[in-house]
């Protein structure tokens, strides 16, 4: 399947070897060839597309990152003047404006190709619950595509668009990515505006992104991660999660994985074997994998459909279902109607339980760079899913349903193929606003699994939750000022030495002895140091407690790295006792 990679298209456009009009023409031909996959609910006509193509004439490709790039939109997200159906013809309406996310993509030069098929009212993870036909897997026609964002994923996988928008409330931006060999970004709730989205569970919904690579997903994310005051659930993106902080993760990587006893593959031996092969590649690369308990995540996941959040689905479309019973998929109707009569007391009890589960799950996060789950335990055939539509759909959500309830971010990553040449993938999970960090880890995994990546060399990325600080004196472990690190939640990373470029002097302030490091490239020597990870939120207050002649600057380690650390004004060399010869503050103190 030929891909329409964003960077490839842009290079062709820049060299004038291709035009957007030519790409659109080819897409139309290809869409006809794949008509039986049931990807589209509404494929835009030439007349409907013309305004978008004409608008490119006044847009500079150098300042519009998605100039001429074709994309697809899940049909529960509004595109101006094109019907939004949410997978139900009788529900359709024609919006007078596009969803905020869609409009930002168009403003950046992207060209909408059409509205894609979905599990009706975004209720399902399989892609079979649509009056517009079952959406078939891009790799094997007999298998499910995953849902509810089925058409959006398959449109990218079949090379009909460069990227697409889906949604993700319970896993709809991850399961279809896994089954169709794509990157699937389930952003932090509120990072992307939901204005113009038909809600499933309004407090949990996310618009998601399907793309060929982490770099391309980040390109799209950089256009749409926008605070929208017209969306009451929109949230401001913090500095350390913006586009500047996407690159490739380097250095030590510690990942939490589900303990073996909690893994479920529902009889799919191929997926079980693919998961183990994936872990083997990670271990061989030097990545540390540590098993974690899954019980609390699983209990949170069950709250989504077995708890009162089903009532949110009823609030979104329950009255329509009651008034149009013959127009709604029976399985979808049965699920949503369960939310009609739940009590407010049920919601509060569930909220209390969810908060307790959050606390337990969050306790695990600081120990790891991210968590890793298999995205799905089994890839079902269409016939299997149609025979057992509820139970098997719940199996598809075993590893996904907890994400939005717990306010976590995630990226689905393809890794290996099964023996039947079907896609398999994992999901990287982090706390809220860890999106760029997860994408940077994804970039590292893409190389390990020989996935398609862009040619340009990305910047290196480390964990932005913490700032490494080198200490050499009273802040060392067990010494009088170490509490200033411990009470801020700092963690000891390593014991090492500075480069052989420092001299150490004895300082005294109110009876407290401390060393002062002065940089001396020609006459210095190595000094023992500890490097502590200080939580970013606490770094400012830590620096504020540092007094002259000390300060926080850059200290070079013996292996050439430059890290934040204690430095000292050079003038102290004139009046202070030099103790460089000890090479260590603790050794100096031991001989006093």
List pLDDT tens digits, range 185-223.
Answer: 999 999 999 999 999 999 999 999 999 999 999 999 999
Residue-level pLDDT at 460 = 83
Residue 456 has pLDDT above 70, yes or no: no
| Active-site position among 74, 186, 195, 501 | 74
Residue 563 has pLDDT above 70, yes or no: yes
Q: Where are the domains of the chain?
A: 6-461, 466-591
Whole-angstrom distance, CA of residue 529 vs CA of residue 288: 25
Residue-level pLDDT at 454 = 58
pLDDT (tens digit, 9 = 90+) per residue, 136-191?
999 999 999 999 999 999 999 999 999 999 999 999 999 999 999 999 999 999 99
Residue 336 has pLDDT above 80, yes or no: yes
Residues 430-448, mean pLDDT to the nearest whole number? 97
pLDDT above 70 covers what percent of the chain?
99
| pLDDT band, very low/low/confident/very high, at 453 (cuts 50, 70, 90) | low
pLDDT (tens digit, 9 = 90+) per residue, 76-122?
999 999 999 999 999 999 999 999 999 999 999 999 999 999 999 99
Residue-level pLDDT at 349 = 92
565 in Cβ contact with 505 (< 8 Å) = no
Residue-level pLDDT at 573 = 86
Residue 363 has pLDDT above 60, yes or no: yes
Following CA atoms 139, 6, 446, 204 in sequence, which dihedral angle do they give, to the nearest 10 degrees?
Answer: -80
pLDDT (tens digit, 9 = 90+) per residue, 224-250?
999 999 999 999 999 999 999 999 998
42 in Cβ contact with 94 (< 8 Å) = no
CATH number of 466-591: 3.10.490.10
Residue 455 has pLDDT above 80, yes or no: no
Residues 463-471, mean pLDDT to the nearest whole number? 90
**DSSP states of 520-572:** -TTT-B--EEEEEEEEHHHHHHHHHT--TTEEEEEEEBTTS-EEEEEEE-GGG
Strand partners, 254: 288
Residue-level pLDDT at 204 = 96
Neighbours of 454 (CB within 10 A): 18
Whole-angstrom distance, CA of residue 9 vs CA of residue 249: 27
Residue-level pLDDT at 459 = 80
Whole-angstrom distance, CA of residue 57 vs CA of residue 538: 49
Whole-angstrom distance, CA of residue 574 vs CA of residue 559: 30
CA angle 247, 226, 407 (to 5 degrees): 75
Among residues 53, 132, 108, 116, the alpha carbon closest in space to that of 79 is found at 116
pLDDT (tens digit, 9 = 90+) per residue, 280-296?
999 999 999 999 999 99
**145 catalytic residue (yes or no):** no
Residue-level pLDDT at 509 = 79
pLDDT (tens digit, 9 = 90+) per residue, 478-506?
999 999 999 999 999 999 999 999 999 99
Strand partners, 503: 518
Q: What sign has the CA pseudo-torsion 322, 324, 325, 330?
A: negative
Residues 262-267, mean pLDDT to the nearest whole number? 97
Residue-level pLDDT at 452 = 66
Neighbours of 418 (CB within 10 A): 18
Neighbours of 468 (CB within 10 A): 18
Averaged pLDDT of the chain: 95
Strand positions, DSSP E, 147-236: 163-167, 183-186, 207-211
Strand partners, 208: 166
- CA dist list (Å): 550 to 36, 92, 156: 71, 67, 56
Residue-level pLDDT at 464 = 80
Strand partners, 517: 504
**30 catalytic residue (yes or no):** no
| Active-site position among 145, 149, 152, 172 | 172
Residue 519 has pLDDT above 90, yes or no: yes
Q: For the domain 6-461, what is the CATH superfamily, name and number? A: Amidase signature (AS) domain (3.90.1300.10)
Among residues 455, 367, 376, the alpha carbon closest in space to that of 125 is found at 376
Q: State the pairing for strand pair 111-116/502-509.
A: unpaired
Residue 1 has pLDDT above 70, yes or no: no
Task: Check residue 117 and report its DSSP letter.
Answer: P
Residue 65 has pLDDT above 60, yes or no: yes
| Active-site position among 98, 130, 145, 148 | 148
Q: Exposed, middle or buried: residue 85 (CB in 10 Å: 0-12, 13-18, 19+)?
A: buried
- In a 13 Å sphere around the CA of 383, the CA atoms on its Cβ side amount to 2
**74 catalytic residue (yes or no):** yes
CB-based burial, 477-501: b 16+ in 10 Å, e otherwise: eebeebebbeebebeebeebbbbeb
pLDDT above 90 covers what percent of the chain?
87
Whole-angstrom distance, CA of residue 565 vs CA of residue 555: 6
pLDDT (tens digit, 9 = 90+) per residue, 523-539?
999 999 999 999 999 99
| pLDDT band, very low/low/confident/very high, at 306 (cuts 50, 70, 90) | confident
Neighbours of 10 (CB within 10 A): 22
Residue 562 has pLDDT above 60, yes or no: yes
Residue 17 has pLDDT above 90, yes or no: yes
């Amino acid at each position: 399947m030929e891909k329409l990679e964003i960077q490839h298209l842009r290079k062709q456009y820049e060299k004038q070897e291709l035009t957007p009009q030519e790409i659109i023409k080819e897409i139309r031909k290809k869409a006809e060839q794949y008509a039986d996959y049931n990807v589209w609910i509404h494929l835009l006509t030439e007349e409907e597309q013309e305004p978008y193509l004409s608008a490119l004439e006044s847009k500079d490709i150098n300042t519009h990152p998605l100039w001429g790039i074709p994309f697809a939109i899940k049909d529960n997200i509004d595109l101006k003047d094109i019907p939004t159906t949410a997978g139900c013809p009788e529900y359709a309406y024609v919006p007078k404006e596009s969803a905020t996310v869609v409009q930002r993509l168009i403003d950046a030069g992207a060209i909408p190709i059409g509205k894609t098929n979905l599990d009706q009212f975004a209720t399902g993870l399989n892609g079979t619950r649509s009056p517009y036909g079952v959406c078939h897997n891009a790799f094997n026609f007999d298998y499910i595509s995953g849902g509810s964002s089925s058409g959006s994923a398959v449109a990218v996988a079949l090379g009909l668009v460069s990227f697409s928008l889906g949604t993700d409330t319970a896993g709809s931006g991850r399961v279809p990515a896994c089954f169709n060999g794509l990157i699937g970004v389930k952003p932090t709730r509120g990072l992307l505006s939901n204005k113009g989205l038909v809600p499933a569970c309004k407090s949990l919904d996310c618009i998601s992104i399907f793309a060929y690579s982490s770099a391309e997903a980040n390109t799209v994310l950089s256009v749409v991660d926008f605070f929208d005051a017209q969306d009451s659930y929109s949230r401001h993106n913090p500095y350390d999660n913006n586009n500047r902080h996407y690159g490739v993760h380097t250095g030590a990587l510690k990942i939490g994985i589900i303990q073996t006893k909690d893994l479920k593959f529902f009889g799919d031996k191929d997926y079980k074997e693919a998961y183990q092969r994936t872990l083997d590649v990670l271990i061989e690369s030097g990545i540390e994998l540590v098993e974690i308990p899954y019980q609390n995540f699983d209990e949170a996941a069950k709250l989504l459909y077995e708890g009162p959040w089903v009532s949110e689905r009823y609030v979104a479309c329950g009255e329509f279902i009651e008034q149009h019973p013959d127009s709604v998929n029976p399985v979808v109707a049965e699920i949503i109607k369960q939310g009609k009569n739940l009590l407010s007391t049920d919601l509060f009890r569930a909220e209390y339980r969810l908060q307790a589960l959050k606390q337990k799950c969050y306790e695990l996060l600081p120990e790891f760079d991210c968590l890793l789950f298999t995205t799905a335990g089994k890839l079902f055939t269409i016939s299997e899913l149609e025979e057992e539509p509820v139970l098997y759909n719940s199996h598809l959500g075993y590893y996904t349903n907890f994400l939005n309830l717990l306010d976590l971010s995630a990226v689905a990553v393809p890794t290996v193929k099964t023996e039947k040449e079907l896609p398999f993938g994992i999901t990287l999970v982090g706390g809220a606003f860890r999106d760029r960090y997860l994408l940077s880890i994804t970039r590292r995994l893409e190389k390990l699994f020989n996935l398609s990546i862009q040619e340009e060399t990305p910047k290196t990325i480390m964990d932005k939750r913490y700032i490494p600080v080198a200490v050499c004196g009273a802040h060392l472990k067990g010494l009088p000022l170490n509490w200033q690190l411990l009470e801020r939640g700092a963690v000891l990373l390593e014991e090492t030495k500075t480069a052989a470029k420092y001299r150490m002097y004895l300082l005294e302030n109110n009876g407290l002895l401390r060393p002062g490091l002065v940089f001396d490239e020609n006459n210095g020597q190595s000094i023992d140091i500890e490097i502590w990870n200080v939580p970013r939120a606490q770094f400012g207050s830590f620096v504020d407690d540092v007094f002259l002649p000390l300060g926080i600057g850059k200290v070079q380690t013996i292996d050439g790295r430059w890290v934040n650390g204690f430095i000292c004004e050079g003038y102290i060399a004139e009046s202070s006792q030099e103790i460089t010869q000890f090479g260590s503050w603790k050794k100096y103190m031991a001989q006093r």
